[in-house]
Structure 1
Amino acid sequence: MKKIKTSPFMPSEVEIAKVSDNEIKIEAYPFESGYAISLAHPLRRLLLSSTIGYAPIAVKIEGASHEFDSIRGMLEDVAVFIINLKNIRFKLKNDAEKVEVNYEFTGPKEIYGKDMETEEVEVVTPENFLATLNEDAEVKFSLIIHKGIGYVPSEEIREELPEGYIPLDAFFTPVRKAVYEIENILVEDNPNFEKIVFNIQTDGQIDPLSAFKDALGVMYKQMSVFNNELNIDIVQSAETQEEIPGLKKLLQKIEALNLSARSHNCLERAGIKYIGELVLMTENELKNVKNLGKKSLEEIKEKLEELGFSPEKGLSSEEAEALKKRIEKIKS
């Protein structure tokens, strides 16, 4: 007979692996069947649509009135220049929302992203190519760089620009890749639980973990519309899990302590599965675990102290009660 539950299984494991400077892999599990996709899909959409980035929204080039023009002494015509410009990724310093930057280059020269660094602007793609100037060429241009989210077509920008500026399609999102896979995972002989595996890559304007945290924050805020009207606490802030110090460690299974086989087996037979359960126990309660000898007790205390915890130490009564409820939900 299928076990009757009064609440869904609570996932407890999150693993983060750095793939490169601008790419990470995040795994979260175990979810009950169907729950993983319910979370993964909206998070992916929020990563791509709501992560803050920076983009040039307009360019003014001396001697050019439109994007099909050409500049004397520059190998690329204006259309190609604009395409190359869009591939250079900027970041505004001092948390500015908008800057207008003026540039002037003389040839012979190949212009790259690194040449466009200023006191106000950082370039996160310094090796990206912009244009080639011959020996008697001179090019002067100005950029308006803006902070924003998502994509804004040039038609929606045109009317707000100063005279002489060519509007650009603005690709603000710094997230270059946000994909996920749903994998099956075994939980207590049940193969129908699921794991979310996210792969997130950014262009360098923001690190991928911060982008993921921002997406979570946006999701919480969007859901909070229900809180007041329905008089329920559906969500809390993105910092909720930090209310209990080291919550992630406390919700790890006891396998993470790398205990000896004897100590691990004693705890397992006593039904103790999570590190937080050990932290919630007094030393006397630990001593009373069946077949747990003095040597095993000392080993457990030592392992907990390495993580910054020990029985009867480190958690307030409120934190202990909150942790107890979290573990009960996970085990239900």
Structure 2
Amino acid sequence: MRKITTSAYMPTDIKVENVGPNVAKVIAYPFETGYAVTVAHPLRRLLYTSTVGFAPTAIKIDGVSHEFDSIRGMLEDVAVFIINLKNLRFKIKGDSKREIIEYSFNGPKEIKGSDLTNSVIEIVNPDAYLATINEDADLKFTIIVEKGIGYVPSEELRDYIDNDYMALDAFFTPVKRAVYEIENVLVEDNPDYEKIIFTITTDGQIGPIVAFKNALEAMYQQLSVFGGIVDIDIPANVSSPAQTGEHSKLFESVENLNLSARSFNCLDRADVRFIGELALMEENELKDLKNLGKKSLEEIKSIMEEIGYPVGTPELADQKEQLLKKIKDLKTQKSEG
């Protein structure tokens, strides 16, 4: 049964999985029905349009006046050479946003991306083919590599570069693929909550998690413009049906602690049913439980520390009321069942 609430459920679980080289998954859940696609779709668009990357924006080739020219001793025409150049993925090694790099090659030689790597520039796909020149060739060219986002067509760059350069279409985005899936997940007795599974693949200029961070930052920056006309109070902890699902261990039975019979029976008689009750107790409260001996006290304290929730866990103080209410509800459900 759906409950009446005054705020949307706040997802509590997020996981990152490294699937392979430059491929990662980001998983977040549970979202209210319909919220997953509301969050996922704009993030996917921002991954493509707002992730920072590098690209050549202009080229100057000695002896060449336009892109339909040819170079003596080079197998490829200039147009094909430029296409191959665009397929190389550049990365500026330092903090610079723009670099001008000169290259000179003598044949015979097959030129690949690795031949363009130097102290300033790294080619992240070094095996990519660029051109083949014979013994008569003397290939000299200069490229401008810049840092940017998205895609900028050459027409918009022509007024920005010197006349002796040819402007290039600039494909800055390092994200090769960004897709998401939405699955249903069960929260208590409601199967209609949703999970987002992002799969992000980059070209190696940056990692997929950095790309995801760029997209999130872009989203926050765009939304922050409304802060000038409205004052939004975003609570640190939003109440949700799962009630702090990131601490799901606290809602497990004390039976899962594998305590000795003496210790377990003592807790059972005191109506301590859940691990969270122990984590929220102060040590003096635990000592005051009827018939709990020193040996049992030390056993409970030791096991609680092992699972990461020592008795009286201070990090839970701000959520104590919320957690105790959840535990009370669970006890009620158990007794009614």
Q: TM-score, normalised by structure 2?
A: 0.80
In 1: Cα distance, 2:322 partner to 2:49 partner: 32
Matched, 1:25 2:29: no
Q: How many angstroms does 1:325 deviate by? A: 8.7
Counterpart in the other structure of 2:40: 40
In 2: Cα distance, 1:168 partner to 1:290 partner: 80
SS at match of 1:65: coil
Counterpart in the other structure of 1:114: 114
Counterpart in the other structure of 1:300: 304
Counterpart in the other structure of 1:131: 131
Aligned length: 310
Tell me: CA distance 1:5–1:271, structure 2 relative to 1, closer, same or farther (3 Å): farther
- 1:11–1:30 contact (8 Å) kept in structure 2: yes
Counterpart in the other structure of 1:65: 65
Q: How many angstroms does 1:10 deviate by? A: 1.6
Residues 82-231 of structure 1 aligned to structure 2 (within 5 Å): 82-231=82-231
SS at match of 1:178: strand
Tell me: CA distance 1:86–1:287, structure 2 relative to 1, closer, same or farther (3 Å): farther
In 1: Cα distance, 2:166 partner to 2:36 partner: 45
Q: How many angstroms does 1:216 deviate by? A: 1.1
Find the structure with the greater CA-based Rg: 2
In 1: Cα distance, 2:234 partner to 2:256 partner: 41
Q: TM-score, normalised by structure 1?
A: 0.81
In 2: Cα distance, 1:38 partner to 1:20 partner: 28
SS at match of 2:193: strand
CA distances 1:60-105 after superposition (whole Å, capped 9, x unpaired) = 1111111111111110111111111011011112210101100001
In 1: Cα distance, 2:228 partner to 2:305 partner: 44
CA distances 1:194-226 after superposition (whole Å, capped 9, x unpaired) = 110000011111111111112111211211122
Tell me: CA distance 1:214–1:76, structure 2 relative to 1, closer, same or farther (3 Å): same
- 1:111–1:130 contact (8 Å) kept in structure 2: yes
CA distances 1:247-282 after superposition (whole Å, capped 9, x unpaired) = xx9924218999962569989x84667xxx876553
In 2: Cα distance, 1:95 partner to 1:228 partner: 32
- 1:60–1:164 contact (8 Å) kept in structure 2: yes
Counterpart in the other structure of 1:50: 50
In 1: Cα distance, 2:289 partner to 2:26 partner: 36
Counterpart amino acid of residue 169 in structure 1: D
Q: Which runs of 5+ in 1 are unaligned?
A: 242-248
Root mean square deviation, CA, Å: 3.6
Tell me: CA distance 1:77–1:22, structure 2 relative to 1, closer, same or farther (3 Å): same
Counterpart in the other structure of 1:254: 249
Q: Which runs of 5+ in 2 are unaligned?
A: 238-243, 330-337
- 1:62–1:139 contact (8 Å) kept in structure 2: yes
Tell me: CA distance 1:171–1:329, structure 2 relative to 1, closer, same or farther (3 Å): farther
In 2: Cα distance, 1:127 partner to 1:146 partner: 22
- 1:10–1:329 contact (8 Å) kept in structure 2: no
- 2:57–2:168 contact (8 Å) kept in structure 1: yes
- 1:9–1:330 contact (8 Å) kept in structure 2: no
Counterpart in the other structure of 1:77: 77
Residues 242-321 of structure 1 aligned to structure 2 (within 5 Å): 251-254=246-249, 261-262=256-257, 270=273, 281-284=281-284, 294=297, 295-304=299-308, 310-312=310-312, 315=315, 320-321=317-318
In 2: Cα distance, 1:171 partner to 1:66 partner: 21
Q: How many angstroms does 1:312 deviate by? A: 4.6
Matched, 1:15 2:15: yes
Query: After the TM superposition, which parts of structure 1 deviate over 4 Å for at least 4 consecutive aligned residues?
Result: 255-260, 262-267, 269-273, 277-281, 284-294, 311-315, 323-332
Tell me: CA distance 1:52–1:291, structure 2 relative to 1, closer, same or farther (3 Å): farther
In 2: Cα distance, 1:290 partner to 1:35 partner: 48
Q: How many angstroms does 1:185 deviate by? A: 1.1
